[in-house]
Amino acid sequence: MTELPAALLQTDENQLARLHTRLVADAAASGLLDIAYRTVDSPVGSLLVAASDRGLMKVAFEVQDHDAVLAALAEKVSPRILRAPGRLDPVARQLEEYFAGTRRSFDLELDWSLSSGFRRQVLDHLMRIGYGRTESYAEVAAGAGNPKAVRAVGTACATNPLVLVVPCHRVVRSDGSAGGYAGGVQAKATLLELEAAA
């Protein structure tokens, strides 16, 4: 075993934090920051939010595994991904207002590149379901232009890349029960109660 003076192996966390901030700024200035992300605390657990320079691209629950979500973004979109909290401050603020009951709709630029085809049509329709309201999967299928595609609506909701912002939690079963949810059944119940109470 070879021994080095401990001074040579110490890490100054403050210095590294400062360098990280500088890297984010340099990367953005050079057009190299393809995806910026941060996490936001919420009553339904930690939320991962990720954005390209076109807008918010991904919102994910803790139960969806943030590391796995980032790995998937690296694979599908670009590995040029950095934690850059400042660039997502408006998103964090609007989510906090939503959970505080003081915001009923989101005013954010969105990057839709993670969804296409009929799924995208479904998400477009979901954007028109107002705060505190719900629709059945069959109603959404009809609204998205294909009344027979009830199962595909379920898939579109389950793979919604922009949970909360695109309100798939407002889609419930025709018998009135909540149905499944990417964030878990409990999270869906919490969101529906929040919107019913406000």
Residues identified as active-site? 168
CA 139 to CA 181: how far, in whole Å? Answer: 17
113-118-119-124 Cα dihedral, nearest 10 degrees: 80
Distance between CA atoms of 158 and 27, rounded to whole angstroms?
33
Asked whether the beta carbons of 65 and 185 are under 8 A apart, the reply is: no
Candidates 32-40, 100-108, 177-185, 188-196 — which segment interacts with another protein by CB under 8 A?
A: 32-40
103 φ, ψ (degrees, to nearest 5): -130, 130
Which range touches another protein (CB under 8 A), out of 30-38, 54-62, 100-108, 167-175?
Answer: 30-38
d(CA 112, CA 110): 6
Query: Does the footprint of another protein cover residue 27 (CB under 8 A)?
Result: yes
Q: Is 130 in the site for another protein (CB under 8 A)?
A: no
User: x/- binding map, residues 67-106, to another protein, per CB under 8 A?
Assistant: ---xx-xxx--xxxxxx-----------------------
116 binds another protein (CB under 8 A): no
CA pair distance 147, 151, nearest whole angstrom:
10
Q: Per rule CB under 8 A, is residue 128 in the interface with another protein?
A: no
CA distance linking residue 113 with residue 95, whole number of Å: 21
Size of the site for another protein (CB under 8 A): 35
Query: At closest approach, how far in Å is the CB of 10 from another protein?
Result: 7
Window contacting another protein (CB under 8 A); options: 16-24, 97-105, 122-130, 184-192 = 16-24
List CB contacts of 11: < 8 A, sequence separation 6 or more.
Answer: none
Binding site for another protein (CB under 8 A): 1-11, 15-16, 18-20, 22-23, 26-27, 30, 32, 35, 37, 70-71, 73-75, 78-83
